[in-house]
A and B are shown apart, each in its own frame.
Chain A
Amino acid sequence: MQDHSPNRYARPASSGSQSYSCPKIIEAEVLDEASLVEGLRTGNNAAFESVVRELGPRLLAVARSLMGNEADAQDALQDAFLSAVRSIDRFSGESKLSTWLHRIVVNACLMRLRTKRRRPEESLDGLGPTFHADGHRRNPGPAWIPPAQSGIEAIELRRFVRTCINQLPETYRVVLMLRDVGGLDTEATANALNLTTNAVKTRLHRARQALRELIEPRMIEAGIIEPQAITPSLPESCTDSPHPDKAQSTSAALSEQSLPKRSMPAQTTIESRTDRGVPR
């Protein structure tokens, strides 16, 4: 990065101090990705700064969600940007620059997670269903119904769920983020984390159960309960309910159509998510 020409790549300056003596922004111009990439390839500092400022916040958020703490997230992001500068000639342009950088950030995070001292399986004390000795569930809760998909309540709920995700121990949170949020399949997640597929499935299942337990009080508190599901006549314990072991096999059988129809998660392979030329 030797070129110190004025920053024709930058958006208009926002308020806030700049402690690094980079070229000041001199003109408002819509960011043009091809120009940015060309600037990166020719070692233009201003182009690099523009990329860092423009895409950094989103990439930092990705790193935070995977690393779980600010210091590690910032270190991973720095690793990623330096790796991107080194590898810019390998950027083919088949994907957006932001997508390519995003993958570099994920890889930088995974690299750091892999090299951290292997931790013993962390406890998820109390964050899962409990059972009687005969295998029946203790204290099953009320039903949930899908919450609002838009509006302030939906935004607030999503924020709450993110907070709950961040409360999960790292070994579980990372698996949940890669599988349920990032869309990697079990095998790709196992490869990324150097785990067996069985370990990924176990951690994912426990993470989902723990997250469910963390979310449930809020769902009840907010009144997101299916009223008919908590009629007084319905016992709240399997032991007391018309359990399959005690029920007539033909009684009250519900059709599968009564179950919620959910789409299966996309079985995205790591190959399909990894551009050629993405440094790891």
Chain B
Amino acid sequence: MMTCRELIDFLIDYHEGSLDTATRGEFDRHLSLCPPCRRYLESYLSTIALAKASCENSEHTLNTDSTSTASNAPKRPPMPEELVSSILRASAMRSINGA
């Protein structure tokens, strides 16, 4: 019988749907009989969802394919002025040097 440690080790494969049939059967059997592991699974899945949600529609998002417009776009902190200047200077230098 699969132990709690083994079940937790298999969580990532379970989430990816890559457990083989026999292991998935063991996994499900353990879950059906172990409330703490069911709770752990649920909180593990919640963590994944929270991580994604925390970065969606925020200044941290990695996905820029959203259709946010100026009116509904999240408020973001401004660029540090020194960084803007540095980028513009570097670009100008590159042009001057013909790089």
Q: Are B47 and A212 in contact (CB under 8 A)?
A: yes
A152 part of interface (Cβ distance < 8 Å): no
Chain B interface SS verdict (over half): helix
| Chain B 19-58 per-residue mask, 1 if CB under 8 angstroms from chain A, else 0 | 0000000001111111111111111111111111111001
Which residue of A is nearest B31, CB measured?
A: A259
A53 part of interface (Cβ distance < 8 Å): yes
Closest Cβ of chain B: how far from A265's Cβ, in Å?
8
Q: Which of B63, B79, B86 has the most CB of A within 10 A?
A: B79
A136 part of interface (Cβ distance < 8 Å): yes
Which residue of A is nearest B17, CB measured?
A: A264
A262-B49, A264-B16 known; A243 and B33 CB under 8 Å? yes
A106 to B62, CA, bound (A): 8
Q: Which residues of chain A come closer than 8 Å to B35, judged between CB atoms?
A: 229, 234, 241
Q: Are A74 and B36 in contact (CB under 8 A)?
A: no
Q: Which of B4, B28, B58, B84 has the most CB of A within 10 A?
A: B4
Q: Are A201 and B12 in contact (CB under 8 A)?
A: yes
Partner of B29, one of A56, A186, A249: A249
Q: Are A48 and B48 in contact (CB under 8 A)?
A: no
Interface size class on chain B is 35 or more
Q: Which residues of chain B come closer than 8 Å to A229, judged between CB atoms?
A: 35, 39
B71 part of interface (Cβ distance < 8 Å): no
A144-B43, A182-B62, A208-B48 known; A57 and B33 CB under 8 Å? no
Q: Are A20 and B88 in contact (CB under 8 A)?
A: yes
Q: Are A135 and B5 in contact (CB under 8 A)?
A: yes
Partner of A238, one of B28, B36, B86: B36
Q: Are A165 and B54 in contact (CB under 8 A)?
A: yes
Q: Are A20 and B1 in contact (CB under 8 A)?
A: no
Q: Are A49 and B88 in contact (CB under 8 A)?
A: yes
Which residues of A from 41 to 97 have beta carbons under 8 Å from B?
A: 43, 45, 48-49, 52-53, 56-58, 60-62, 64-65, 74, 77-78, 81-82, 85-86, 95-96
A1 part of interface (Cβ distance < 8 Å): yes
| Chain B 67-99 per-residue mask, 1 if CB under 8 angstroms from chain A, else 0 | 000000000111111111111111110110000
A245 to B40, CA, bound (A): 18
| Chain A 138-175 per-residue mask, 1 if CB under 8 angstroms from chain B, else 0 | 00111110110100000001110110010000000000
Q: Which residues of chain A come closer than 8 Å to B39, judged between CB atoms?
A: 140-144, 229
Partner of B79, one of A57, A146, A245: A57
Q: Are B62 and A205 in contact (CB under 8 A)?
A: no
Which residue of B is nearest A22, CB measured?
A: B88
Q: Are A85 and B62 in contact (CB under 8 A)?
A: no
Closest Cβ of chain A: how far from B60's Cβ, in Å?
5
Which residue of B is nearest A184, CB measured?
A: B62
Q: Are A253 and B46 in contact (CB under 8 A)?
A: no
Q: Are A136 and B51 in contact (CB under 8 A)?
A: no
Which residues of A from 107 to 146 have beta carbons under 8 Å from B?
A: 129, 131, 134-137, 140-144, 146
**What are 27 A-to-B residue pairs whose CB atoms are below 8 Å?**
A19-B81, A20-B85, A45-B92, A57-B78, A58-B61, A61-B58, A78-B83, A78-B86, A85-B91, A86-B94, A99-B65, A131-B5, A135-B3, A147-B50, A157-B54, A161-B53, A177-B55, A182-B62, A211-B51, A229-B35, A237-B36, A238-B37, A244-B1, A247-B33, A255-B32, A259-B41, A264-B15
Contacts A56-B84, A209-B44 supplied; 4 other A-B pairs, CB < 8 Å: A2-B95, A22-B88, A181-B60, A260-B42
